[in-house]
Structure 1
Amino acid sequence: MSDTALLVIDMQVGVVEGELRAARLDAVLDNLNAAIAKARQRGYPVIFIQHEDEELERGSASWQLHAKLADQEGDARIGKRYGDSFCETELAGLLADKGIDKLWIGGCATDFCVDSTLRNAVSRGYQVTVVSDAHTTLSAFELSGEQVIDHFNAAWHATGATPKPLRVIPAAEL
């Protein structure tokens, strides 16, 4: 049994290809697929997290995973209603059942759902690896999506006060 899982957060059509297109989306999809392939080669579970709300109704076209993602029939899928993928979901139970204590994390949105999930995972004692080139966000608050991605990668990389090391590495180094 593996001790590591890959979380792919909110890479849904309505999130990344909506009114605005997510930053570096094509490269992020390629790098997520590279991470997915590496996870599968090592026998790690791949878990897709999908946000659900009025604009992303379960089963709708906008709720679907991006067509370029290499998802498979046996991959776990978890619906969520909040930014943090652990909040009122079965994620913690699923990880515990599988004996997972290490997470690779990528997806959307860097500054909200990815960051919230990452911080909760660290607080819960998981060793977290952020796939630095496999997360994305939209431009907002006077910042480009690229600036937000770069800022969060730098901030996470500089974070040292964690129970287990927080790693920030590109997909090629997984």
Structure 2
Amino acid sequence: MDAIVIVDMQVGLLEGAPKHDLGGVIDRINALTAMVRREGGTVIWIRHCGKPGDSFERGGRGWAFLPELSRCQDDLLVEKSLNDPYVGTRLKEMLEGLAPHRVLIAGWATDFCVDATVRSTVSCGHNVVVVQDGHTLADRPHLDAPAVIAHHNWIWSNLITDRSITVLPADVLLAG
């Protein structure tokens, strides 16, 4: 049984510069969450709760999940206030209780919250699969979004860990 963790796919990410391949990322997340549910796994949505006045302020417009996402009543939810969804939340205990064979990770933003999630998940003793084309961000001042995504996919593929960490495109995961 797998679990999939979807990081910060909220309306607030629409502010600012466009996010790389956002429509494609949403489509792949929807396909993967459907697959995980169909196979008896668990979908965990991470929601960032920002400070008053920011784009992700609790209860504000940006705090809501993107309406294009296919969410289900039985999915789990973790609310966080930092990049790392393990800090100050029950994510570690949730995953320990589920004991998934592997944890798939996708979402926004590649270089901040997705990176923190990948590293903490493998550090907590889980086999991790990063969805290679399932995370996004906007261009950064020094690198365009595709370069940042490629860089992080390469880093994650080469981390030294006690557990497995792989980076696979959604179509490979969907093909089984």
Instruction: Report TM bin, short chain.
Output: over 0.9
> Structure 1, residues 40-65: CA drift from partner, whole Å, max 9, x if none?
11111100001011211222210111
**SS of the counterpart of 1:62?**
helix
Instruction: Name the CA distance, whole Å, in 2 between partners of 1:124 and 1:73.
Output: 27
Q: Which amino acid aligns with 1:165?
A: S
TM-score by length of 2: 0.91
Distance 1:104 1:127 in 2: 9
What amino acid is the match of 2:132? Answer: S
Secondary structure of the residue aligned to 2:41 is: coil
Counterpart in the other structure of 2:10 = 12
Give the structure 1 partner of residue 40 of structure 2: 43
The 1-side partners of 2:65 and 2:19 are apart by 14
Deviation at 1:75, TM superposition (A): 1.0
Question: How far apart are residue 120 of structure 1 and its match?
Answer: 1.1
Q: 1:52 is aligned with what amino acid?
A: C
Is the deviation greater in 80-89 or in 141-150? 141-150
- Structure 2 partner of 1:170: 169
Separation in structure 2 between the aligned mates of residue 108 and residue 84 of structure 1, nearest angstrom: 12
Name segments (4+ residues, structure 1) moved above 4 Å.
none
Structure 1 length-normalised TM:
0.92
Report the CA distance between 1:34 and its aligned residue.
1.4
Aligned residues: 170
Q: Which moved more, 1:118-127 or 1:98-107?
A: 98-107
Amino acid at match of 1:119: R
Name structure 2 gaps, 5 residues minimum: none
Q: Would you say 1:31 and 2:24 are equivalent positions?
A: no
In the TM superposition, what are the counterparts of 1:60-99 in structure 2 within 5 Å? Answer: 60-99=60-99
Structure-2 change in CA distance of 1:148 and 1:168 (3 Å): same
Matched, 1:104 2:104: yes
Give deviations 1:66-120, integer Å, cap 9, x for gaps: 1111111221111001101111111111112223352100001110101111111
Q: How high is the sequence identity, in percent, across the aligned residues?
A: 35
**RMSD of aligned Cα (Å):** 1.3
Superposed counterparts of 1:111-130, under 5 Å: 111-130=111-130
1:135 aligns with 2:132: no
